[in-house]
Amino acid sequence: MKSQEENKYLFTPYESLVFSLSSSRTRGSRFKSMRVWIPLFKGMTEGGVSKYENKGKYRKSKNKPVIKSKKVFVAMSGGVDSSLSAALLKEQGYDVTGVFIKVWQPDFVECVWKEDRLDAMRVCARLGIKFLTLDLEDEYKKEVVDYMIREYKAGMTPNPDVNCNKYVKFGAFFVFAMKSGADYVATGHYVRLERNLKNKISRPQRLSATMAGVANLKSNSPDRERKQEYVYNLLQAKDLNKDQSYFLWNLTQEHLKKTLFPVGDLQKTEVRKMARKFGLSVAEKKDSQGLCFIGKVDMKDFLKHYIPPKKGNVLNEKGEIIGWHEGAYYYTVGQRRGFTITKKTAEEKPHYVISKSILSNEITVSDSPIVEDVSSSKKIIISGVNWIHGRLPDFSREYKARIRYRQLLQTCRIQAIMSETTDGSNVENTNKAKVALKFAVIFDLPQVAVSRGQSIVIYNKDTCIGGGVVDNF
């Protein structure tokens, strides 16, 4: 008969144990006080290990050496894409742990994270894999939400999803997974990963939904693996309508080396079909729309809680007042709703925001979305640049780029803008050197609805090579 003290750690399928990470592995790090929930499902032992898993962490086969299963932490959102990712990796022989990342959500927005977490838990129970809830509210609030509000106040057009990937999924979560002993992290992003031997001409090894696990489990010995150096390429997804490479331009070789994207080689229809095959409860769950912390709330309504409305004038291209708005910071270039036109023409065409001034609290609109020399440019300056391969692009060749998600790729060239530094902060072992802090993206055709703060993402054919943030144009 178990004592009352022992019984308090036994839970029903969807109850959980809360504790603080305080092991020597994390002591002194920013994860010291981070809460982690470990649910105990039916079929799991008190230690949180499923009875349906192989008891050992080693696979044995006749006449073959014992190979340790690779440990992977899957970022589980409760949606079909991340759920299928976990199922595929489990099927391929990985030691899988599902991790639900709890992010910040305002009080005035309907709470959805508990339902999503419950969906993720059900999937993990179905698959017989371990499950954790990682509390990253503080990181998310600081790096995603506060950043977005600050950028809107400054008249920028921020991309919170880019920051979420950089600081949360491939920042705090990635660090947590590596410190916890994971060999890889995995996400449900629609992108593909290609691995090539460095400085050698070889057939690319594409880590797809069907081959990633097999390739790792059947790889050469660890000693031989360590001697080989690889270059990792981030490719657009097979399903171009779902491709998410635009949001991952901040990744590095270190990230790609330790990351798997199991659904990148699949069409969305295939993902749902395979999810039904695995018996996943989220197979028919609708895809989430917009930012997770906003939910169904309109962006302007969300911003009103942090940036007070301030009535201002709507101008036409001639500078004439033709209406009013609630605050210039609420609007983005290219937007066609959310302001009032009082002086209407007989044709009553829709109007588009072509520029805005935070200082004068005015927005300028046009009945044409394309206005030369106002919101369009061939030469766009970007800063905060990241090159995924860790080296500069070839300035003599053509590339492709886009300034908005799902925009058709546009032909361009890259040009370095050299800046002089004297403190040695940007160059090692020198006191004075010229370094490229900004770059110019020069398009063949004018790009419309350009706004500071947007991400420009650059491609070599179907490979994402990096990107930056619009600084000027």
Residues 416 and 142: their CA atoms lie apart, in Å, by 31
Residue listed under structure tokens 């299928």:
84
127 CA to centre of own chain: 25
Give the residue carrying structure tokens 């994860």. 31
Q: Exposed/middle/buried for 210, CB within 10 Å: 0-12, 13-18, 19+?
A: middle
Please list the alpha-helical segments (H only) found in 305-378.
Answer: none
Reported as half-sphere exposure (CB side, CA atoms, 13 A), residue 156 has a value of: 18
Angle between helical axes of 268-277 and 80-91 (0-180°, round to 10): 60
Rounded CA-CA distance 91/313 in Å is 59
Residue 452: closest CA among 336, 357, 338, 316: 357
Quote the radius of gyration of the chain (alpha carbons, Å). Answer: 25
Kind plus residue range of the DSSP H or E element containing 134: strand 130-135
Burial 439-456 (b: 16+ CB within 10 A, else e): bbbebeebbbbbbbbbbb
Per-residue DSSP letter, 95: E
Taking Cα atoms as reference points, which of 142, 163, 227, 157 lies closest to residue 452?
Answer: 157
Output DSSP code: residue 150: H
Tell me how many degrees the CA angle 119-121-127 measures, rounded to the nearest 5. Answer: 105
User: For 420, how many CA atoms within 13 A lie in the half-sphere containing its CB?
Assistant: 2
Task: Give the helix/strand (H/E) hosting 80.
Answer: helix 80-91
Q: At what angle do helices 80-91 and 113-127 cross, to 10 degrees?
A: 20
Write phi, then psi, for 122 (nearest 5 degrees). Answer: -60, -40
Active site residues: 164, 292
Q: How many CA atoms lie within 13 A of 64 on its CB side?
A: 13
DSSP annotation of 245: G
Alpha-carbon dihedral 310, 316, 317, 318, rounded to 10 degrees: -110
Angstrom distance (rounded) from CA 296 to CA 96 = 32
DSSP secondary structure letter of residue 50: B
